[in-house]
């Protein structure tokens, strides 16, 4: 079997080599240059286009509208910031924080089971993860990595489609 980095693996029954000392699954010597390449201005523009207006903002007080309206001015700076994160392999800790907001679904407002949580995170974090997510999606689609039976979290597919097939 070949991984995306061109490394060859044999299909041994001994899977112990696929786990590190913390018992975390990993593929040895796996390299994905598509994920490590520098972020481009085009990727920033595409990520900003996916932002929605009118969304709530997190504690950094940055609205999606700021990025939508000023992407021409700040794209180069965002590019530098995102490339520094990739080069240093350090994700800003402040981007890992979020505000949990209960959102009423239906029924009685006094019943806690009638709420779902949403987490408000930094818009910068959303932009960065959007760029990385688009790269991962591209790799998966180009290399036919995701099974046709996978419906969750895939664009254009739903559990209703899966139920219909069954």
Per residue in 22-50, pLDDT tens?
A: 666 555 555 677 777 899 999 999 999 98
Residues 72 and 108 both lie in one domain: yes
CA distance 47 to 66: 14
- pLDDT at residue 48 in the model: 93
**Higher model confidence: residue 89 or residue 20?**
89
- pLDDT at residue 17 in the model: 56
What is the average per-residue pLDDT within 71-91? 92
pTM confidence score: 0.70
CA distance 166 to 107: 31
Residues 21 and 58 both lie in one domain: no
Number of domains the chain is built from: 2
What is the average per-residue pLDDT within 116-145? 87
Q: What is the largest CA-CA distance in the chain?
A: 57
Q: The domain containing residue 24 runs over which residues?
A: 1-31
Angle between helices 64-88 and 41-49 (to 10 degrees): 140
């Amino acid at each position: 079997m070949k991984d995306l980095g061109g490394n060859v693996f044999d299909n041994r029954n001994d899977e112990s080599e696929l786990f590190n000392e913390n018992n975390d699954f990993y593929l040895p010597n796996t390299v994905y240059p598509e994920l490590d390449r520098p972020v481009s201005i085009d990727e920033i523009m595409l990520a900003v286009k996916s932002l929605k207006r009118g969304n709530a903002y997190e504690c950094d007080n940055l609205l999606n509208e700021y990025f939508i309206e000023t992407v021409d001015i700040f794209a180069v700076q965002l590019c530098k910031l995102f490339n520094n994160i990739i080069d240093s392999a350090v994700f800003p800790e402040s981007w890992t924080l979020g505000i949990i907001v209960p959102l009423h679904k239906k029924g009685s407002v006094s019943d806690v089971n009638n709420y779902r949580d949403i987490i408000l995170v930094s818009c910068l974090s959303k932009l960065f993860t959007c760029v990385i997510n688009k790269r991962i999606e591209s790799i998966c689609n180009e290399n036919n990595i995701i099974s046709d039976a996978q419906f969750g979290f895939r664009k254009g597919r739903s559990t209703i489609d899966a139920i219909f097939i069954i």
